[in-house]
Structure 1
Amino acid sequence: MNTVLFYIIIFLTNVIQGITGFAGTILAMPPSLILVGYDVAKPILNVLGILAGVYVFVTQWKHVDWKQLKKVVIVMAIGIFGGFFLKNALAGYDAVLYKFLGIFVIFLAIHGFYSMYGQRQRDTKEKSSWKSMLLLIGAGIVHGMFVSGGPLLIGYLSNEIKEKTSFRATISTVWIILNSMILVQDICAGMWNAGLVMTQCISIPFLIAGMAAGSVLVKRMSQEIFMKLTYILLFISGILLMVK
């Protein structure tokens, strides 16, 4: 039953991903950890991120900002290896990992609502390079541990790439490269087996269906409503992880 619910989570979160343009994996990870555990949720969602990235790259590769791509991949890769180290250091302490992710997604939810309703005083041009580097390294650490560095990367990249198509093409290419690194690490760590491959194959149609549904709904429904729903779900997911 938990596996069936996991597939439904993949479908629903990719519907929201198709509407809002982000949050697919970070929204799917908390309930997936609760339903099927880290050793299933992380590798499955990681590969789905690669497939979603390939879909965008194939159609929009000409719009990739290669300069920003190179910078992001190099800096985030450093953070990813840091994430691998922390995950290994905390092996056997799943409760600690879940609480770490819980705090992270609660922060994202609160920050998201503040961005929508709070005082907005953007100072993007004055952003220092060392803060940008810290943001990217932090994104890499979270991505290496939970394949959920997207929100932090968006915080950096949205200030660097203003054109929507270029932004989408670039961030999708980032996930292809970085998630492939994580896939290699997962294989070397022995996480993949016949059962996991079967689960992965079954999950792909749910990804495709969710993305297709999201692309239809985005033309008919308010994106702001779904942004609010996303932050509410993130907050609830964070609370559930904290008490797990």
Structure 2
Amino acid sequence: MDPWILLAIFVFVAYSIEAITGFGSIVIALSLGALLLPIEAMLPVLVPLNICMTGYLLARHHQHIHWPTLLKLILPLMVSGTLAGYLLRPWLGDQLLQLLFGALVVWFAGRELLRAYRGLSSRRHGVLWTRGWMLGAGITHGLYASGGPLLVYALTGTQLDKAAFRATLITVWFSLNSLLTVVFAIDGSLYPALPKVAAIAPVLVAGVVVGEYLHHRVDEQRFRNVVYALLLFTGSLLIITGF
């Protein structure tokens, strides 16, 4: 089967999961897709697709954005990190990119499964620690458009309520993925990807519709643990096949 058809299926799964749990669309689609396609080839497709999702959510929830956290803390560090990550990507090569991404996915999924198993509560980091992880989140976003795991870790223990936390993160992804899309347009990788973006977009919409339907019909925490287990397995495969 054409790997791009399989990627469309992965996008459907990823956005269904995001609509149910509120996280992980690019991480899930990219980790599954990286078993078949180069990360470099997928990013100009997945990033513009994500703008469609986050733009829709931003229009609905913009009133909850916590602007001081967004403008004074998150965006300055993550924009710098994203640009640095983008510039680093050609130096790493496809194989190392895959290995590092697999390691990131395994760390994230393993940490979340361990926290759920032990019932661990979140502790707030110190200021320097928080800023360092945010810069790292920006770098991973520039490399993989997947800064979520490290940013959520950086924001552990913050005082934002659930609505403000979600709306602020949505704004981060919309902003950074818009930046990456402009960069892809400048480097020429966006335009060959646009037909695939157009072809996969209806699949994304279908995934969101299915996910919204299932959102109140599944146990979210159990479902999250299943997703983390899937990511742990996929990340391990990426590491094994990357050698």
Scaled by the length of structure 1, the TM-score of the pair is 0.93
Aligned partner letter, 2:118 = G
RMSD (Å) for aligned C-alpha atoms = 1.5
Are 2:185 and 2:191, in contact at CA under 8 Å, matched by a contact in 1?
no
| SS across alignment from 1:44 | helix
Are 1:46 and 1:182, in contact at CA under 8 Å, matched by a contact in 2?
yes
Structure 1 stretches lacking a partner, 5+ long: none
Q: For residue 32 of structure 2, what is the aligned residue in structure 1? A: 31
Give matches, 1:122-201, under 5 Å.
Answer: 122-124=122-124, 127-157=125-155, 159-194=157-192, 196-201=193-198
The answer as to 2:89 corresponding to 1:87 is: yes
Identity across aligned pairs (percent)?
A: 29
Q: Distance in 2 between matches of 1:167 and 1:154?
A: 10
| SS across alignment from 1:67 | helix
Q: For residue 231 of structure 2, what is the aligned residue in structure 1? A: 234
Q: Distance in 1 between matches of 2:119 and 2:61?
A: 35
1:193–1:144 Cα change, 3 Å: same
Q: For residue 220 of structure 1, what is the aligned residue in structure 2? A: 217
Give matches, 1:205-216, under 5 Å.
Answer: 205-216=202-213
The answer as to 2:7 corresponding to 1:6 is: yes
Q: Note the alpha carbon deviations across 1:100-128, whole angstroms, 9 max, x for none.
A: 1011111111101111012525432xx21
Q: Note the alpha carbon deviations across 1:172-198, whole angstroms, 9 max, x for none.
A: 11111111111111122221234x211
Q: For residue 46 of structure 1, what is the aligned residue in structure 2? A: 47
Are 2:77 and 2:131, in contact at CA under 8 Å, matched by a contact in 1?
yes
Q: Note the alpha carbon deviations across 1:33-76, whole angstroms, 9 max, x for none.
A: 23332233111111122111111111111111111111211111
| SS across alignment from 2:189 | coil
Scaled by the length of structure 2, the TM-score of the pair is 0.93
Size of the alignment, in residue pairs?
239
Are 1:147 and 1:179, in contact at CA under 8 Å, matched by a contact in 2?
yes
Aligned partner letter, 1:85 = L
Structure 2 stretches lacking a partner, 5+ long: none
| SS across alignment from 1:112 | helix
Q: Distance in 2 between matches of 1:161 and 1:52?
A: 26
Q: Distance in 2 between matches of 1:163 and 1:123?
A: 15
Shift of residue 158, structure 1, vs aligned partner: 5.1
Q: Distance in 1 between matches of 2:215 and 2:160?
A: 20
